[in-house]
A and B are shown apart, each in its own frame.
Chain A
């Protein structure tokens, strides 16, 4: 569903990430020269073997990893900006208002009730207290969190329940761009269906998504295009020493923990 005369929401050119490990005095190549574009309402699946750099790419777009080369042109509501070079404070603003990162891990905070965790992004966006809470409960319900848990602290929840709270929070506010890092991992069937429904609604509303899925079948109906990192990645020493690259990938994952 690409509309030809709309500029892409995200235009990535020559994106390169390496990790400079000072104590080993070595540079680890994660990926190099990645180019792709993502338009509003489009869903890109990232493919690649373990360690190919899929999660690294998502984290680089999110800027918890700093790119070392290339550009990430993003059409923000406030104007075009290169996320590869944007000021930290601009990134913080975009994370609050336009770009979401959905992982399988919840950063549970002590003494904050599940419903408050989910309502917080709505409140930050200016929604009134009660309204935000109502909507938060709606989404907790959708993801299958039982009502008796809504006012409890998720730090005591099981992993699966925490993940549902996390997804509800991450998806409660329609963002413009969603980075999805295996959000379906270890979800039960009901929650997985709720997630796919929510993603599908967001996609229909024009949210652009790029993600890694352990079982891409979960989201088969949403996928517009696939990017395979193994074929797009051009390590500096490619073609002469493949084992060396695998070694680097292993190290990269070690560093990324």
Chain B
């Protein structure tokens, strides 16, 4: 079997009646000669955690940035099902519409906190900024909502006025997380959220994510090259290689009975 073929197309559900929250079709992107994404389809159902794995350069982070409307593809269609709205293909919206949609309905945690945080503002200010963009103006409400989001992210409230620049990497990730969930987003995107943290801190952050997922049923898309992280978190897994999806399935199936030669290599390398 060639490494480029997908042996098993995603089947339409028969029993589940809920529509997907995310539907991406035929997303393609080239950077010059390099094909970053090739005919990628993504479907995410409400409340599930979709894990995306793949080596560096597989296109997984590019795909996540497309989901966050930070980058536009050459081809493709992207629908986000939000109550009471129909925005059509999100890729076709104006930039300012995309920005508003992103600020209000999509949360993201980056591997690099510098991408997600203003390092010289207070931690609570970083969270409040997100709420301000969404139109919240009352100082008391801003403060209490920021406090609540930081608390839910298990950030020590005694330090909520400290600047992220003065915090450890693990704490910075908690501030990013608080900012991402402050508006109860329809979709939470996690781009290598624990890469670069020490193992014990990594476990604590994953633990917080798990708890949030369990208690709030937040729909998450998690990108990581770390199979352990994906295995802990994901309900379903998509495996990417050279811009294409080579395999997807239930997390336990992908890890226990990988079908594609590349996934087998990946899983065996981990064991």
List chain A positions with a Cβ less than 8 A from chain B: 19-23, 59, 63-66, 76, 78-79, 81, 85-94, 109-111, 120, 256-257
Within 8 A of A (CB), among B239-261: 248-250, 252-253, 256-257, 259-261
For the complex, what is the distance from the CA of A14 to the CA of B1, rounded to whole Å?
24
For the complex, what is the distance from the CA of A84 to the CA of B213, rounded to whole Å?
29
List chain B positions with a Cβ less than 8 A from chain A: 1, 8, 10-16, 45, 48, 203, 207, 210-211, 214, 235-236, 248-250, 252-253, 256-257, 259-261, 264-265, 268, 271
Q: How far is the CB of A50 from chain B (nearest CB, A)?
A: 19
Contact A65–B256 (Cβ < 8 Å): yes
For residue B268, which residues in chain A have a CB less than 8 angstroms away from its CB?
Answer: 23
Least CB separation from B236: chain A residue: A88
For residue A86, which residues in chain B have a CB less than 8 angstroms away from its CB?
Answer: 11, 13-15
For the complex, what is the distance from the CA of A111 to the CA of B207, rounded to whole Å?
8
Given A20-B1, A20-B259, A23-B264, 19 more A-B residue pairs with CB atoms under 8 Å apart are A21-B264, A22-B260, A22-B265, A23-B268, A59-B256, A59-B257, A64-B252, A66-B257, A79-B14, A79-B15, A86-B14, A87-B14, A87-B16, A88-B236, A90-B13, A91-B250, A92-B235, A111-B211, A256-B256
For residue A79, which residues in chain B have a CB less than 8 angstroms away from its CB?
Answer: 14-15
Contact B11–A85 (Cβ < 8 Å): yes
For residue A63, which residues in chain B have a CB less than 8 angstroms away from its CB?
Answer: 250, 253
For residue A256, which residues in chain B have a CB less than 8 angstroms away from its CB?
Answer: 256
Contact A22–B249 (Cβ < 8 Å): no
For residue A22, which residues in chain B have a CB less than 8 angstroms away from its CB?
Answer: 1, 260-261, 264-265
For the complex, what is the distance from the CA of A19 to the CA of B258, rounded to whole Å?
9
Of the A-B pairs whose beta carbons lie under 8 Å apart in the complex, a sample of 20, sorted by A's number, is A20-B1, A23-B265, A59-B256, A59-B257, A63-B253, A64-B256, A65-B253, A65-B257, A66-B249, A66-B257, A66-B259, A81-B15, A86-B11, A86-B14, A88-B10, A92-B235, A109-B210, A110-B210, A256-B256, A257-B271
Known: A22-B264, A92-B48, A111-B207. A81 touches B257 (CB 8 A): no
Q: How far is the CB of A15 from chain B (nearest CB, A)?
A: 15
For residue A94, which residues in chain B have a CB less than 8 angstroms away from its CB?
Answer: 15
